Structure 1
Amino acid sequence: MALSTHTTTTDFLLPSIHSAPPFFTQQLHPASLSIATEQWIQLILKYARHRRLFTIKVEDSEAPGNNWDEVLRNERINRKVLPSYLTYILAQMVSKKLAVYEPPKQDRSVLIYWRLPEEWAEVLHDWVSSTGNLNTIMTFYEITDPPIASPLSGLPIPLLRQAIAILSRSNRAQIIAIAEGEGVRFFPSTGKA
């Protein structure tokens, strides 16, 4: 079978390497393993961005019918990523700071950084500025579940907290205790980087 690209049902273009049976196997040769793992990492990041997926779990390689089927399986060549290899790939993503274990203190589920926390901080601040909410207190819910879809819709709270912490260090945000739990006040940029 010739290697070929394939468009999934969600209109994601899988690279031709996805049609190569060895791609789904953890390679023994260190150089081959490194190259294949890097290709997997890039594929996972691109797919996550395409679908706005924030987490991937080792279990996603074990049971069909989840958000990751199109990537972790290739029914055309009867291949899937084994849980042990996906565990390795996720560990590499964490070591490269492209993901973080979520919840912490386990190694079977990660929060994917298809946009780094620093990038989310800028998206967050730009969105708050564009909606006229500077100097007002907003709840986390208002940010992640706004009435009109935004780039922050569905953002996981741990990632939102990281973005707010980054903005806090540059004096552009402050966590505030409110009746509903926690809120955040955003401040205009000072012009200093």
Structure 2
Amino acid sequence: MTEINWPWQYSFPPFFTLQPHAETKAKQLAAWKSLTLEYYRITNQAIVDIREVHSSPLFNNVSINRKLSSDMVLVIMEELENSGYACALDKSRQRWLVYWHTLQEWGEIIYNWVRDNGFIGSVCTTFELTDGENTTDQEFHGLDPEVLVRALRTLESSNRAELIMFDDNQGVKFF
């Protein structure tokens, strides 16, 4: 796993408490959003379960004995959702899908690779896209399957792809 370069705020105890002053709070939330997206990009993870955040080094800095409250993590997730980088997976808003590119950006990244490699008019399995030999050098290699399908749906809505579901397999035809 790649080493995380924690920002200076991560070692600053007040960073782990939601600040009351509006301008300070806005900067704090922006820093948390950026740190969260970077952490999930580097660790290639996509699921945040608010009930389990205290076991995550992102939300629990043991070196200064500080951790975010579950309520503050929820605020950060909602901020990410408002900017297109996360969505709740359940009605109780305890499980979240996080993506370091918006779904539209992921769709464009994948579509550009498909176009550049001559796969327009072809069918690819989702496994080929995220785990295939042809994509090992691509940012979407190893992408969470749920994020991939949601990104492909953005291409489907713009008539540049069609998702194909058969048995336990998923594929996509690109136009």
The TM-score bracket by the shorter chain reads 0.7 to 0.9
For CA contacts below 8 A with separation 6 or more, give which structure has more relative contact order. 2
Cα separation, partners in 2 of 1:130 and 1:180, compared to 1, 3 Å: farther
One-letter amino acid of the structure 2 residue matched with residue 49 of structure 1: R
What is the match of residue 4 of structure 1?
none
How far apart, in 2, do the equivalents of 1:51 and 1:152 lie? Answer: 13
Q: 1:172 to 1:89 in 2, by over 3 A?
A: same
Which residue of structure 1 lines up, in the alignment, with residue 148 of structure 2?
160
CA deviation profile, 1:127-162 (whole Å, cap 9, x unmatched)? 223444321222222222214524322323332223
Alignment-derived partner of residue 48 in structure 1 = 40
1:24 deviates by: 0.6
TM-score, normalised with respect to structure 1: 0.76
Q: What is the alpha-carbon distance in structure 2 between the residues aligned to residue 122 and residue 143 of structure 1?
A: 14
Matched residues, percent identical?
29
2:174 corresponding residue in structure 1: 186
The match for 1:30 is 22
Structure 2: runs of 5 or more not aligned: none
Larger radius of gyration: 1
Instruction: Give me the whole-angstrom Cα distance separating, in 1, the residues matched to 2:20 and 2:106.
Output: 37
Name which of structure 1's ranges 118-127 and 54-63 shifts more when overlaid on structure 2: 54-63
Q: Which of 101, 114, 119 is the equivalent residue of 1:128? A: 114
Alignment of structure 1 residues 13-162 onto 2, 5 Å: 13-63=5-55, 68-69=56-57, 71-101=58-88, 103-148=89-134, 149=136, 150-162=138-150
Tell whether the 8 Å contact from 1:91 to 1:107 is kept in structure 2 after alignment.
no
Structure holding more helix per residue: 2
CA distance in 2, matches of 1:36, 1:169: 35
Gaps of 5+ in 1: 1-8, 188-193
Classify 1:178/1:32 alpha carbon distance in 2 versus 1 (closer, same or farther; 3 Å): same
2:171 counterpart SS class: strand
RMSD: 2.3
Q: Distance in 2 between matches of 1:100 and 1:52?
A: 17
**Counterparts of 2:67 and 2:167, CA distance in 1:** 48
* Matched residues, number: 173
